[in-house]
Amino acid sequence: MQTAENALVPPFQRPPSQVAIRRVASYEADLFELIYETLREFVERDLSEETANKTGEISAAKKSRSLMSVPGKTVLLKPNFVGLDLLGCMNTHPAVIAAAREGFLKLGAERVLIGEGPSMDRDTEAVLESVRLREYAGRLNGGFVDLNIDDVQRVPLKTRASKLKELYFPKTVLGADFVVSMPKLKTHHWAGVTLSLKNMFGIVPGGCYGWPKNVLHWAGIDNSILDINAVVRPDFAIVDGINAMEGNGPIQGTPKQANVLVFGNDPVAVDATCCRIMGLRPEKVKYLAGAGTLLGHLAAQKIEQMGESIATVRTPFAVLADFAGLREDRVGHRGAESTEREGRPQGRG
Amino acid sequence: MPRIFVKNELGTVQFSSGNFLAEICLPFLKSAQNADGGWGFRMGAESRVEPTAWTILALAGLDSQAEIVSGGLRFLRSTQLPDGSWPASPGQTVGCWATSLACWALGHDSESQTALTTGLQWICADWPKDLNFVQRLIRRIRSLAKREVVSQQDDSLRGWGWTPNTASWVEPTAFGLLAVDQAPKDLLPAGAGERQRLAKSMLYNRMCPGGGWNCGNPMVYGVAGDPSIPQTVWALLALRNEPSGEPQTSSLQWLGKSVTGAIGIGSLALAKICLETYGREFVNAENRFRERYERNGFLGNVPAIAWTCLALGGRSGSWLKRGNT
């Protein structure tokens, strides 16, 4: 996990970030092979950077946060589990989580935990059963940590983007050596999009703040996202965009096939890339614009693309009328945004 | 087989299904108690107010558990904040929904009347921060301008929030109602009745279309939200003394159907408690609890185990009295 001290770096001081896009036909694909090979590619890239570096060594700070550091460490996978998902577009698919766990173990991680604190429903066991995690990842008792009821530690907020002065965080998260945000690719009715940064809302413990964590809403969703990620900036992100959600997400939207997994060592760069895949402008997403100033790279020229190009996988997503301004094809059409009606949700079930 | 007894107003009666309770639940709760007398959310976790309150409620009526309960009550008394509230976790200096649960648990203890009195005063003075008149008007105008309804809820009906200065939600509102309802009437502060009236109206207003409750968003952008078992149970229990009407009928119907799905053991226990409180039958309970336990082992969740104890205690348990309403 990146602490506030090394997470907050302005873009001009931050080296380029790497993001990989992989096209995936379905959850039946060999996800372990695909994820492991992609992780290996990141490691190879870091190693080659280390070799190419004239000083002979990659910076210790960067090394400690790269996939090279994983051997012997505790990795925490943070998926996005919301609840019963009949259409398969709301929660991170358990096949992706299980494959990622195997991938990190094969990279040498000593142990890989799966941790989540569902926001709306305190019956975490029901949520886990409904997402079928057990079928893919084995017994739940042991490998899964309910972050809502974990022991907590008080952390003063240094960024103070929101009105909050402090937050309590789960000790499992603060104690993990390497945190991987694993969101679902979705639009969001309040934040515009929900990706690897917004996914970190789920680490804030319901046992301290309730279900939902309404204190974050009152403090401002966009600014709370920044404050949380400034404390616990994910070291890596894997976005499940195979079956995704558009419209009135994160719960009541409609399914959208995007057929991608997006990987990256910078959650801001990963989220920016996902926006571009969805046909949205990341700099227009309020919290992403803020994150681009301190937490990672938003600018495409600072993101080294691996795998597929954005153009080959681009799949425009519908958004609610309030977020019509995010769409790439709305540039110069602001006058029409207020009456934008497309993308209205049809509801689920 | 150990004999487990529960006290009720008619005397002492034996549990209807003592095996699972005696073999699994009670030993777990006993061994999960910390040295400070409290319980954490999981075995070995630091003591917190909420799991301690649930465990006290679960064990309070059992003859054999008096000493354990006494330790829990001591923990609750020692963690009360100067303003009468209780925090969600150690170190926090502001109260929260756990205050309602602590008051409910302390209501069974004659030594805790002072703590209970100040706790009830805090509850009745803790108003949530729902939208004010001007904010509601702005939202209404925006909805009309955009020709879309974001939400149909009435924010003038106020219950309780999870934490101070946040909005009303179904679960803490139900907990607040139950705390006030279960407290000795002579300890209630002035204004308690008005809080109850508003909170009950808020619960009715937040019911999902077709019955049941979720966290408190029955409609979002014109789309109906799905109900959830825990919130439905707490709302129904908080409204159990209300005249039976369509909200109760449709919600109980939804609850009865939902317990056949893939749910956690905690939800299973809560559903059993609620359905039986309303006189509905819950069949094959012991086997269903065993099946869930063998599958996931409670996930170590102390409140879920405490609710299971309450569920297996049957309707004879003294933890949920007729109340003040």
Predicted ipTM of the assembly: 0.90
In A, which residues are within 8 Å of B129 by CB distance?
Answer: 218
Pairing of strands A178-182, A74-79: parallel
Nearest CA in chain B to A133: B296
The answer to whether B275 and B248 have CB atoms below 8 angstroms apart is no
Residue A338, Cβ neighbours under 10 Å: how many? 12
In B, which residues are within 8 Å of A218 by CB distance?
Answer: 129, 165-167
Distances (CA, A) of A298 to A4, A174, A290, B214: 19, 26, 10, 37
Distances (CA, A) of A11 to A7, A290, A292: 11, 12, 7
| Tens digit of each residue's pLDDT (9 = 90 or more) over B129-185 | 877 777 777 777 777 776 666 567 788 889 999 999 999 999 999 999 999 999 999
| Tens digit of each residue's pLDDT (9 = 90 or more) over B61-77 | 777 788 999 999 999 99
Residue B297, Cβ neighbours under 10 Å: how many? 17
What are the residues facing A113 on neighbouring strands? A76
Does residue B226 sit in helix, strand or coil? coil
| Tens digit of each residue's pLDDT (9 = 90 or more) over A147-196 | 999 999 999 998 889 999 999 999 999 999 999 999 999 999 999 999 99
What does the radius of gyration of chain A's CA atoms come to, in whole angstroms?
19
Average pLDDT for chain B: 88
Distance (Å, whole) CA B286 – CA B277: 18
Q: What is the mean pLDDT of residues B94-111?
A: 95
Distances (CA, A) of A65 to A2, A75, A226: 7, 12, 19
pLDDT the model gives residue A55:
55
Look at A140 and B214 and tell me if their CB atoms are within 8 Å.
Answer: no
pLDDT band (50, 70, 90) for residue A54: low
The answer to whether A210 and B97 have CB atoms below 8 angstroms apart is yes
Average pLDDT for chain A: 89
The answer to whether B123 and B164 have CB atoms below 8 angstroms apart is no
Q: Which residues contact A297 (CB under 8 A, 6 or more apart)?
A: A11, A14, A16, A17, A266, A268, A269, A272, A303
Distances (CA, A) of A56 to A61, A221, B17: 15, 43, 70
Nearest CA in chain B to A135: B295
Look at A125 and B301 and tell me if their CB atoms are within 8 Å.
Answer: yes
Residue with tokens 């002579």: B186
Distance of CA A229 to the CA centre of its chain: 11
Q: What angle do CA A190, A216, A172 make, to 5 degrees?
A: 115
Report phi then psi at A196, rounded to 5.
-70, -30
Q: Could you tell me the sign of the dihedral formed by the alpha carbons of A216, A218, A224, A228, in that order?
A: negative
- Of B240, B125, B119, B218, give the one whose Cα is nearest residue B169: B218
Residue with tokens 């960067």: A62
Look at B165 and A218 and tell me if their CB atoms are within 8 Å.
Answer: yes
| Tens digit of each residue's pLDDT (9 = 90 or more) over B10-47 | 344 444 555 788 889 999 999 999 999 999 999 999 99
Q: Quick check: B300 contacting A, CB < 8 Å?
A: yes
Q: Quick check: A155 contacting B, CB < 8 Å?
A: no
Distance (Å, whole) CA A112 – CA A116: 13
Helix (H) or strand (E) holding B235: helix B229-238
**What is the residue type of A349?**
G
Q: What angle do CA A214, A217, A220 make, to 5 degrees?
A: 150
Distances (CA, A) of A334 to A84, A110, B112, B246: 37, 52, 62, 47
Distance (Å, whole) CA B201 – CA B165: 20
